[in-house]
Amino acid sequence: MADADLSFKIGPDQAGARLDAYLASQIEGWSRARLQRLIQSEDVLVNGKVAKASYKLREADEIEVELVAPPADFFTPENIPLDIVYEDETLVVVNKPAGLVVHPAAGTPSGTLANALAYHFQKLPDPTGVRPGIVHRLDRDTSGLLVVAKTEAALENLSDQFRDRTVYKSYLALVHGRVASNSGKIDQPLARDPSNRTRMAVVRGGRNALTLYRVRRAFDRFTLLDVELKTGRTHQIRVHLAWMKHPVVGDETYGGGRDNTIQDPRLRARIRALNRHFLHAEKLGFKHPKSGEFVKFESPLPDELVGFLTALDGKAGGHGGPPLQL
């Protein structure tokens, strides 16, 4: 289930059923009410477009559903170290490194954050008997903060906060080019790229997606942005910034080869050496499921990204040679 996405094609026997009722019959563990909220959040597409829960299905309709990952107790425990930022009896906030996949998929059946969570929380007191549940995701090569529920009640509460778009999510992104305006928003719908189903794209009739950005620092040929997500679509930041003609540095999927246009061979080599894109989930805030208090967490940039910015400053870019000329 790549990126926790499901797809269905309606046959003659399913034609005429309501969208929400059909999905409830197909997706185990999801109530009809919860699926209705998913549909209202535009996380369900019918033939590439948003639809209502009451939509009557037709033969050959194609449905795409974007799901939050299932609870971690579906996964084999593996002894993988975790960087825990905060933990209590209700939830845990972890700092995910780049390169770690959040949950198992077709190409990564093990070695994921979910496997690590299942192992780690086997050894902790858990009076409800429920293992941690993943509430949201980060791309494999995105580092930063993730909140994980330790009880079913917390999982439901946090999932609702994400669906209601009340969670504060702020990222740091280094992009190609000088962004002209100091701040702005990108309000463009997203869906699977019709020409390449493994990618996302700005598609008319797709899921509503809103991204806010503000320039933190400008370099000669790059811009460091604070990016706030108002929705949580797959690859949203990367697709929106690429649509704006300022792709994320190191993004092989949406960068369009922009990294290869850099003239300085040492800088090109530094980008390749990152072996990731320059996107970091820096800040995360939400209402605590138990106390109702708004809590906020922050994660510093990983060393490899700090080193890259230092190179742009010309302070350590040459390893004894002259500063990088950008």
Long-range Cβ contacts of 295-303 (<8 Å, 24+ apart): 295/86, 296/168, 297/85, 297/86, 297/93, 297/145, 298/145, 299/85, 299/95, 299/143, 299/144, 299/145, 301/172, 302/97, 302/98, 302/143
Model confidence pLDDT, tens digit, residues 170-208? 999 999 999 999 999 999 999 888 888 789 999 988 889
Model confidence pLDDT, tens digit, residues 202-228? 998 888 999 999 999 999 899 999 999
Specify whether 93 is located in the same domain as 50: no
Average pLDDT over residues 229-257: 95
Average pLDDT over residues 121-134: 52
| Host domain of residue 25 | 2-66
Q: Pick 319 or 83 by higher pLDDT.
A: 83
Q: Which of 115-124, 145-154, 253-262, 294-303 has the lowest mean pLDDT?
A: 115-124
Q: What is the CATH number of the domain that holds 23?
A: 3.10.290.10
- What positions carry a catalytic annotation? 139
Q: What is the CATH number of the domain that holds 102?
A: 3.30.2350.10
Number of domains in the chain: 3
Query: Has residue 190 been placed in a domain?
Result: yes
